[in-house]
Amino acid sequence: MITLPASSRIWRIAGITDLRNGFYRLTSPVLNTLKLLVLGTAVS
């Protein structure tokens, strides 16, 4: 079993994902969401 530190944060992003896309195309929505979270402009 993998254990994580108590201070770890895990984000779940649900949506339609087309797995035919390449790795870099699949990471784009995740990176955009993380940028919004860092800038504090994400809507909760």
- Sketch the domain layout of the chain as residue ranges: 1-44
Please name the helix (run of DSSP H) or strand (run of DSSP E) that holds residue 29, with its range, or none.
helix 23-39
Instruction: Quote the tokens at residue 38.
Output: 């860092």
- Alpha-carbon distance of 43 to 37, in angstroms, equals 9
DSSP 8-state code for residue 43? -
Instruction: Quote the tokens at residue 4.
Output: 């994580």
pLDDT greater than 60 at residue 43: no
Instruction: Quote the tokens at residue 40.
Output: 């504090």
pTM over the 0.85 mark: no
Q: How do residues 2-17 score in pLDDT, each as one tens digit?
A: 888 888 887 776 777 7
